């Protein structure tokens, strides 16, 4: 090897040179490190020391401790309570308006969920959003904590002494005593009231309906001699014609009607026929949105249309026709359809005008519907109030003829059109007592407040329809110092008796002898209590009286010019009784998708012509209201919901929306639900923010809700769903098809049965501890509902067709959300469920973005125990409603529908303990259990015999966005409209 050298020295001794170099370097370094130069230098060691120190310091500073929470076991175990196991008690919900037979789920002594009672012939396992939300009313801080006298606590003894002395004609009492109640359908209570009236001097009983059916009751009295409403058997009907009766949403008994209506529209078992539904109305109601044919008309046009329909039917039947009011809208097609379905049709009207109701009765009579689709044997009794009674009461109050008023379960100061006059008159009374459970506008003007317990804390019995009875039983000891109003009345009559015993006595005397199943009353009582319902229907003879018709036809009022303001009750809020319930406030209106407000729905055409858009403000006869441009709103009409604008309700409900009750017109003592000749003015430059949770209304031609008509469907069951074959044919994947060995959970939603009522959303909210976020956050599009109902409009904006589609997590077997989560917080279960591990989630929101269905919800804030979200979860009392089986999610995590995994686990475990396979239909998700439309089916896709497996084989079945190959476990059945 050739030797290279740099210097002579190197050539001489190469190693020595290297050593010399090292020495030089060391010397240089030591120079640097010496003396005052020391400051200027640092070594790698110093660097590492600094680094290590900072790291250690940071980790010590950052370490923190988790709070310790203690669980205290029972010392003495209460009877019936097994920790972790729920008990169900049959009970009844009746709020003076809506009736529902229910099961109350009680966990660890707390009622936490309402389910529908499948044994009830009325509600048939269905509930409404309001019934579902009623469990939260129990844990409301606005409830009275004890009896009050002039807003100061008082003892029951003092109150009883003073009141009974006064009622018995004590000093200063010159006038009569009036007991003002809601409609009372409790046979025992009615008996107590009757005794009270006869036992107390100068006493009168008035029933007041906040959502009255006064016109209907008096028409039925005239035509049939019945103070009741016939049972509408939509399930037996082929044609339904509704004049502005929102029977699927708010009219009389919506849960029952929805059950029957959707039964008559079911196409799941090979049916070739279904009910055809005509709706004639001004605003787009939930019912109108489900109609096959809808006529948007002004409310004053209704009289002419009803008479025209009568005349068409009468002409065909050879009966007498009447001239009088007429209408320009042609509905002769409806008459033809009705005549083809004689005895199989229902004609109803939501009007409070007695004359219209008389003509409607005549149409049904001509069509032979009584005895077929309209049944007097099981007449509805949930409306008893007559509007003129209230006018009379007000006059009496003002003239001083009344000196004592006992108000029970009604709030006329708020929801009577002359509420202010009532308030003034009540304040002047010698004695006014409110039995209200919670504070309201009427209780604040009453002298005494003797709170009654919540319905979940009390005993009661009910007769919602003649011959159909049900019971209510307490599911929790009264939380506050309350006493049933019945016991108060008994006490003032001088009887010391528990209401519970009174009911038992009534049943022992009235119903027990009339049944033949049980030989012992205790057995009969226990059975009735366990089932919650008892039937004792006896046939009624009813004669039709045609006489009032001619007078009624002559009295019908003609169409008025000008804009009409239509008042309606919203599906969530109703007459505003539970305005303090945050679940109901946050439930979006089914059609407008607006929560936390009422608004003026204006027609699209009018809005375009006057430059109005959503959230503008208009002035209606001096009242300013935010605008919502409502497709399908009839020309020259504006609709506004009642029940908002509560002044005294509690922290949630006060000041939400605008009170429209003072604007309700009262004509001849009868409340009318529209106001004529309204002036509209735009309030320039004002914007009122609305919490709209769906802002785009068109499907943009995408195959989201697939629909067809009945004719097409009969020809080809696949109609409207042709795309599915194409998708299946083109479906290609590189990966193995996911397989599930045990169960594979799936869900089907029948779009033909779903009415969009929103019961599922609240049921899910109660079951899964879903938090309320308030108006501002809903407006920010952050609503937490795990199941939402998408609503689309199609065709013309003046009279659109509406589609509803409940969307929850689709539990895709090829889920886009799962593979993008960096921390694997959302894995797929072995049973095909897409799961959320809340404590693993760090909140990157990638899954939210990658979910094509947008069903994932994010906890943008701490919604529990946060003063900024002062709803039910901000107090110990409100949090008692939480379901202990479901984690309460913290700030910063994603949540979504779990297909009620806690219910699946519960039933699986029960089956395992009993050593048997899970039965089909044993597991019911919260949304499915109480669905009034029976639209949701849940089950095991691996079981070829299950209902869900069969539904998935239907030609109507498709998956949402199936072209993306997400392989959802949720299927939808096409919507079929009964149109020519």
Partner 1 sequence: MYKTEIRGKLIDGDKSMDQISREILAPIDAKTPKWWYAAITVSLILFGWGIYSIYITLTQGIGTWGVNNTVGWGWAIINFVWWIGIGHAGTAFSIFLLILRQKWRTAINRAAEAMTVVAVGCAALFPLLHMGRPWLFFFIFPYPNTRGPLWVNFNSPLFWDFVAISAYLLISASFWYFGMVPDFATIRDTTKSKIKKAVYGFFAFGWTGSTKEWLRYEGLAFVLGGIAAVLVVSVHSIVSTDFAVSVEPGWHTTIFPPYFVVGAIFSGFAMVLTLVVLMRKLYRMENFITDSHVDAVCRILIFISLIMGTAYITEIFIAWYSGSPYEMFTFFHNRITGEYALQFWGMFIFNALVPQLFWFKTVRKRLWVVFIISLLINWGMWFERFNIVVTSLSKNYLPANWAEYHPTFIEIGMFVGTLGMFAFGVLLFFRYIPMIAISEIKMVSKFDKPQVVPHKEKSHE
Residues 685-714 that bind partner 1 (CB under 8 A): 694-702, 704
The values of phi and psi at residue 818, to 5°, are -70, -45
Q: How far is the CB of 964 from partner 1 (least distance, A)?
A: 6
Q: How far is the CB of 678 from partner 1 (least distance, A)?
A: 32
Structure tokens at 291: 């109609």
Q: How far is the CB of 720 from partner 1 (least distance, A)?
A: 18
Q: Which is nearer to partner 1, 522 or 854 (CB)?
A: 854
Task: Name which of residues 947 to 966 contact partner 1 (CB under 8 A).
Answer: 960-961, 964, 966
User: For the range 163-170, what are the long-range contacts, defined as Cβ-Cβ under 8 Å and sequence gap of 24 or more?
Assistant: 163/431, 163/433, 163/448, 163/492, 164/491, 164/492, 164/494, 166/404, 166/430, 166/431, 167/200, 167/201, 167/203, 167/404, 167/431, 167/492, 168/200, 168/201, 169/201
Q: How far is the CB of 424 from partner 1 (least distance, A)?
A: 45
Q: How far is the CB of 837 from partner 1 (least distance, A)?
A: 9
* One of 9, 16, 20, 21 touching partner 1 (CB under 8 A): 21
Q: How far is the CB of 655 from partner 1 (least distance, A)?
A: 23
Q: How far is the CB of 703 from partner 1 (least distance, A)?
A: 9
User: How is the beta sheet containing 745-750 ordered, strand by strand?
Assistant: 936-940, 745-750, 970-973, 957-958
Stretch that binds partner 1, among 36-44, 660-668, 751-759, 916-924 (CB under 8 A): 36-44
Cβ(804)–Cβ(870) under 8 Å? no
Structure tokens at 328: 């320009």
Q: How far is the CB of 51 from partner 1 (least distance, A)?
A: 12
* One of 890, 922, 947, 955 touching partner 1 (CB under 8 A): 890
Helical packing angle, 332-340 and 302-317, nearest 10°: 50
CA distance 769 to 777: 18
Q: How far is the CB of 881 from partner 1 (least distance, A)?
A: 23
Task: Name, in order, each residue with C-beta under 8 angstroms of 824's C-beta and a sequence gap of 6 or more.
Answer: 837, 840
Q: Which is nearer to partner 1, 81 or 848 (CB)?
A: 848
Question: What is the biggest distance separating any 2 CA atoms in the chain, rounded to whole angstroms?
Answer: 141
Question: Between 745 and 784, how does the x/- string for binding to partner 1 read (CB under 8 A)?
Answer: --------------------------------x--xxxx-
Cβ(138)–Cβ(159) under 8 Å? no
Is residue 893 within the footprint of partner 1 (CB under 8 A)? yes
For tokens 């015999």, name the residue. 945
CA distance 348 to 905: 45
Cβ(551)–Cβ(74) under 8 Å? no
What is the total count of residues that contact partner 1 (CB under 8 A)? 71
Q: Which is nearer to partner 1, 105 or 856 (CB)?
A: 856
Q: Which is nearer to partner 1, 509 or 795 (CB)?
A: 795
* One of 39, 61, 71, 72 touching partner 1 (CB under 8 A): 39
Q: How far is the CB of 944 from partner 1 (least distance, A)?
A: 31
Q: Which is nearer to partner 1, 394 or 961 (CB)?
A: 961
Q: How far is the CB of 17 from partner 1 (least distance, A)?
A: 12
Q: How far is the CB of 143 from partner 1 (least distance, A)?
A: 30
Is residue 861 within the footprint of partner 1 (CB under 8 A)? yes
Q: How far is the CB of 271 from partner 1 (least distance, A)?
A: 29
Q: How far is the CB of 854 from partner 1 (least distance, A)?
A: 4
Q: Which is nearer to partner 1, 467 or 816 (CB)?
A: 816
Is residue 32 within the footprint of partner 1 (CB under 8 A)? yes
Question: Between 121 and 160, how does the x/- string for binding to partner 1 read (CB under 8 A)?
Answer: ----------------------------------------
Q: How far is the CB of 979 from partner 1 (least distance, A)?
A: 24
Is residue 865 within the footprint of partner 1 (CB under 8 A)? no
Q: Which is nearer to partner 1, 842 or 909 (CB)?
A: 842
Q: Which is nearer to partner 1, 857 or 977 (CB)?
A: 857
* One of 859, 874, 883, 925 touching partner 1 (CB under 8 A): 859
857 bridge partner residues: 895
Q: Which is nearer to partner 1, 690 or 894 (CB)?
A: 894
> In angstroms, what CA-CA distances link 927 with 758, 900, 933?
10, 9, 11
Stretch that binds partner 1, among 26-34, 203-211, 621-629, 761-769 (CB under 8 A): 26-34
Q: Which is nearer to partner 1, 30 or 332 (CB)?
A: 30
Is residue 197 within the footprint of partner 1 (CB under 8 A)? no
In three-state secondary structure terms, 875 is coil
Task: Name which of residues 799 to 858 contact partner 1 (CB under 8 A).
Answer: 805, 807, 816, 819-824, 840-846, 848-850, 852-854, 856-858
Is residue 891 within the footprint of partner 1 (CB under 8 A)? yes
CA distance 256 to 253: 6
Look at residues 499, 394, 410, 385 and name the one whose alpha carbon lies nearest to residue 181.
Answer: 410
Task: Name which of residues 43 to 62 contact partner 1 (CB under 8 A).
Answer: 43-44, 46-47
Q: Which is nearer to partner 1, 28 or 271 (CB)?
A: 28
Is residue 12 within the footprint of partner 1 (CB under 8 A)? no
Task: Name which of residues 359 to 398 contact partner 1 (CB under 8 A).
Answer: none
Is residue 794 within the footprint of partner 1 (CB under 8 A)? no
- Please spell the DSSP secondary structure of 616-684, one letter per residue: EEEEETTEEEEEEEETTPPTTEEEEEES--BSSS-TTTBT-S---GGG--EETTEE-SEEEEE-EEEEE
Instruction: Measure the N-to-C terminal CA separation of the chain; round to a whole number of Å.
Output: 104
Is residue 317 within the footprint of partner 1 (CB under 8 A)? no
Q: Which is nearer to partner 1, 24 or 82 (CB)?
A: 24
How many CA atoms lie within 13 Å of 83's alpha carbon, on the beta-carbon side?
A: 7
Cβ(553)–Cβ(356) under 8 Å? no
* One of 113, 791, 828, 903 touching partner 1 (CB under 8 A): 791
Is residue 428 within the footprint of partner 1 (CB under 8 A)? no
Q: How far is the CB of 683 from partner 1 (least distance, A)?
A: 24
Q: How far is the CB of 529 from partner 1 (least distance, A)?
A: 44
Cα dihedral 730→731→732→738 (10° resolution)? -170
For tokens 């018995």, name the residue. 168
Q: How far is the CB of 893 from partner 1 (least distance, A)?
A: 6
> In angstroms, what CA-CA distances link 41 with 34, 52, 157, 422?
9, 19, 90, 91
Q: Which is nearer to partner 1, 688 or 838 (CB)?
A: 838
The values of phi and psi at residue 565, to 5°, are -100, 120
Is residue 17 within the footprint of partner 1 (CB under 8 A)? no
Task: Name, in order, each residue with C-beta under 8 angstroms of 146's C-beta and a sequence gap of 6 or more.
Answer: 153, 451, 480, 481, 482
H helix or E strand, kind and range, residue 296 = strand 293-296
* One of 246, 707, 790, 962 touching partner 1 (CB under 8 A): 790
* One of 40, 59, 543, 733 touching partner 1 (CB under 8 A): 40
- Please spell the DSSP secondary structure of 704-758, one letter per residue: SS-EEEHHHHHH-TTTT-THHHHHHHH---SSPPP--SS--EEEEEETTT-----
Stretch that binds partner 1, among 19-27, 471-479, 497-505, 899-907 (CB under 8 A): 19-27
Task: Name, in order, each residue with C-beta under 8 angstroms of 938's C-beta and a sequence gap of 6 or more.
Answer: 745, 746, 747, 899, 923, 924, 925, 928, 948
Is residue 65 within the footprint of partner 1 (CB under 8 A)? no
């Amino acid at each position: 090897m050739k030797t290279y050298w740099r210097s002579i020295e190197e050539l001489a001794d190469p190693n020595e040179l290297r050593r010399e170099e090292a020495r030089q370097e060391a010397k240089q370094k030591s120079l640097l490190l010496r003396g005052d130069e020391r400051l200027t230098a640092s070594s790698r060691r110093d660097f590492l020391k600094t680094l290590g120190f900072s790291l250690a310091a940071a980790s010590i500073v950052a370490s923190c401790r988790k709070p310790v929470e203690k669980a205290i076991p029972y010392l003495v175990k209460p009877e019936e309570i097994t920790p972790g196991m729920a008990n169900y008690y049959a009970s009844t919900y009746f709020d003076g308006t809506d009736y529902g037979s229910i099961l109350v789920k009680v966990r660890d002594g707390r009622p936490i969920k309402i389910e529908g009672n499948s044994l009830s012939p009325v509600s048939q396992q269905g509930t409404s959003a309001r019934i579902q939300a009623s469990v939260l009313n129990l844990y409301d801080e606005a409830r009275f904590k004890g009896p009050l006298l002039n807003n100061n606590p008082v003892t029951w003894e003092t109150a009883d002494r003073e009141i009974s002395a006064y009622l018995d004609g004590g000093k200063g009492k010159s006038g009569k005593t009036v007991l003002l109640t809601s409609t009372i359908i409790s046979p025992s209570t009615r008996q107590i009231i009757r005794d009270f009236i006869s036992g107390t001097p100068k006493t009168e009983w008035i029933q007041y309906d906040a959502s009255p059916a006064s016109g209907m009751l008096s028409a039925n009295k005239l035509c049939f001699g019945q103070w009741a409403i016939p049972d509408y058997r939509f399930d037996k009907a082929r044609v339904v014609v509704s004049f502005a009766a929102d029977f699927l949403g708010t009219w009389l008994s919506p849960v029952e009607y929805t059950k029957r209506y959707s039964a008559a529209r079911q196409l799941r078992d090979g049916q070739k026929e279904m009910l055809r539904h005509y709706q004639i109305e001004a605003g787009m109601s939930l019912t109108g949105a489900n109609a096959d044919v809808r006529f948007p008309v002004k409310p004053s046009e209704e009289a002419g249309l009803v008479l025209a329909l009568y005349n068409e039917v009468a002409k065909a039947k050879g009966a007498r026709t009447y001239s009088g009011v007429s209408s320009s809208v042609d509905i002769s097609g409806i008459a033809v359809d009705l005549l083809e379905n004689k005895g199989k049709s229902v004609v109803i009207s939501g009007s409070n005008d007695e004359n219209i109701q008389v003509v409607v009765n005549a149409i049904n009579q001509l069509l032979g519907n009584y005895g077929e689709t309209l049944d007097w044997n099981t007449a509805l009794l949930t409306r008893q109030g007559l509007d003129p009674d209230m006018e009379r009461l007000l006059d009496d109050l003002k003239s001083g003829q009344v000196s004592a008023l006992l108000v029970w379960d009604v709030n006329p100061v708020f929801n009577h059109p002359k509420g202010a006059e009532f308030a003034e008159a009540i304040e002047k009374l010698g004695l006014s007592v409110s039995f209200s459970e919670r504070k309201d506008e009427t209780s604040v003007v009453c002298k005494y407040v003797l709170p009654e317990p919540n319905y979940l804390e009390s005993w009661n019995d009910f007769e919602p329809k003649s011959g159909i009875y049900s019971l209510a039983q307490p599911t929790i000891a009264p939380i506050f110092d309350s006493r049933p109003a019945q016991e108060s009345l008994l006490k003032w009559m001088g009887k010391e008796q528990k209401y519970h015993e009174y009911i038992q006595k009534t049943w022992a005397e009235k119903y027990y002898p009339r049944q033949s199943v049980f030989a012992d009353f205790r057995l009969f009582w226990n059975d009735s209590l366990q089932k919650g319902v008892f039937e004792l229907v006896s046939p009624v003879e009813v004669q039709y009286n045609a006489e009032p018709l001619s007078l009624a036809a002559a009295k019908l009022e003609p169409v008025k010019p000008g804009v009409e303001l239509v008042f309606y009750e919203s599906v969530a809020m109703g007459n505003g009784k539970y305005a303090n319930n945050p679940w109901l406030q946050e439930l979006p209106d089914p059609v407008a998708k607006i929560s936390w407000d009422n608004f003026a729905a204006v027609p699209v055409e009018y809005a375009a012509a006057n430059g109005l858009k959503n959230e503008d403000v208009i002035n209606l006869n001096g009242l300013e209201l935010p605008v919502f441009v409502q497709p399908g709103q009839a020309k020259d009409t504006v609709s506004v919901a009642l029940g908002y604008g509560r002044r005294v309700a509690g922290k949630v409900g006060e000041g939400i929306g605008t009170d429209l009750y003072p604007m309700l017109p009262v004509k001849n003592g009868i409340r009318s639900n529209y106001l004529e000749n309204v002036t509209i003015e735009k309030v320039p430059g004002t914007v009122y923010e609305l919490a709209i949770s769906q802002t785009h209304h068109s499907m943009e031609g995408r195959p989201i809700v697939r629909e067809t008509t009945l004719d097409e469907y009969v020809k080809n069951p696949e109609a409207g769903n042709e795309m599915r074959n194409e998708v299946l044919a083109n479906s290609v994947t590189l990966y193995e098809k996911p397989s599930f060995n045990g169960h594979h959970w799936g869900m089907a939603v029948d779009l033909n049965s779903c009415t969009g009522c929103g019961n599922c959303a609240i049921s899910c909210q109660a079951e899964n501890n879903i938090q309320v976020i308030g108006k501002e956050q809903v407006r920010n599009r952050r609503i937490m509902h795990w199941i939402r109902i998408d609503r689309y409009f199609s065709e013309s904006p003046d009279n659109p067709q509406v589609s509803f589609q409940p969307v929850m997590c689709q539990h895709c077997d090829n889920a886009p959300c799962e593979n993008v989560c960096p921390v694997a917080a959302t894995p797929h279960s072995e049973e095909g469920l897409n799961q959320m591990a809340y404590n693993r989630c760090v909140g990157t929101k990638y899954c939210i973005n990658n979910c094509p269905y947008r069903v994932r919800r994010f906890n943008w804030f701490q919604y529990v125990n946060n003063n900024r979200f002062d709803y039910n979860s901000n107090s110990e009392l409100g949090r008692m409603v939480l379901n202990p089986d479901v984690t309460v999610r913290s700030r910063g995590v994603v949540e979504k529908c779990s297909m009620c995994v806690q219910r699946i686990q519960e039933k699986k475990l029960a089956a395992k303990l009993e050593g048997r396979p899970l039965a089909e239909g044993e597991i019911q998700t919260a949304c499915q259990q109480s669905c009034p439309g029976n639209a949701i089916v849940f089950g095991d896709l691996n079981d070829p015999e299950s209902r869900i497996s069969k539904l998935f084989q239907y030609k109507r079945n498709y998956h949402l966005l199936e072209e993306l190959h997400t392989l959802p476990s949720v299927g939808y059945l096409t919507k079929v409209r009964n149109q020519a």
